[in-house]
Amino acid sequence: MIDPTWKDGLQTEPLLGCFVTFASPANCEFTAEIGFDFTLIDNEHGLMHDETLENMVRASQAADCPSIVRTPFNQPDYIRRALDFGANGIQVPLVNDVADAHKVVKASHFPPFGERGVAFQTRPARYGMVSDKAAYLRDADRAKLVAVHVETVEAVDRLDALLEVEGIDVYFVGRKRLGKSPLTQREGRCRLGRDTGEVMGEATGGLAAAVGFLLEEPADHCAERGWHRRYELRERGRLARQNVSPVPTR
């Protein structure tokens, strides 16, 4: 059983996760056993059928490691199904404005705060055997992590408004996509687009859980720019090429 307060660690120290892109429960379990704080099952760039996705979530949790699912699109069906499979959170790409952010929040929270469908025959509700259903709904909303991508120039330009949306735990800076933006390149913006890391550091006032990064920069480089690295992701392929230890924290 995953500790329902696991994401509270974001407030005090970085949580270190790893991408899992291959559709393999065994691969996901292996990654979890390395010692990461969470796995990020990448259903945006990976190809996972529903049964496989549920078993990957189960495999990570069997290793006492929370599992986050990155959805293919910002669509309620993908978000709700990932959570009904028992995922400990979702990460949603291409959240470009406040309407997109509210769409994520509504799909990932039970009423009255959101519009997630209520069902008690699902895996996280112990297939109908959860005893206190009201407590289940309350605790499920509190325990899950909601992360959204800031990966376009449009999102960066609307960053202040995005940061005001209630119900989001992590804003994940998609630096690779930002760096490839034609607007970023044409206007000579830095690859973060308007120094996204610095802007987010200032806008959040030091909120520990506000910013996530796919780590490619050393810690001191991030600190110099005011980036709050609290939700960190590694790529196993990159670690293998560079012969770098994942430095597990569990």
Task: Give the contacts of 240 (CB within 8 A, at least 6 positions apart).
Answer: none
| Helix locations, 67-205, DSSP H | 76-84, 98-108, 133-143, 153-157, 159-162, 175-180, 182-186, 196-203
Catalytic: which of 45, 109, 149, 221?
A: 45
Reply yes or no on whether 102 is catalytic: no
Residue 172, strand partner residues: 149, 212
Element (DSSP H or E) covering residue 223: helix 219-224
With the CA atoms of 175, 200, 169 and 87 taken in that order, what torsion angle do they form, in degrees rounded to the nearest 10?
Answer: 10
Nearest to 54 by CA among 65, 69, 70, 73: 69
Is omega for the bond preceding 112 within 30 degrees of 0, making it cis? yes
The catalytic residues are 45
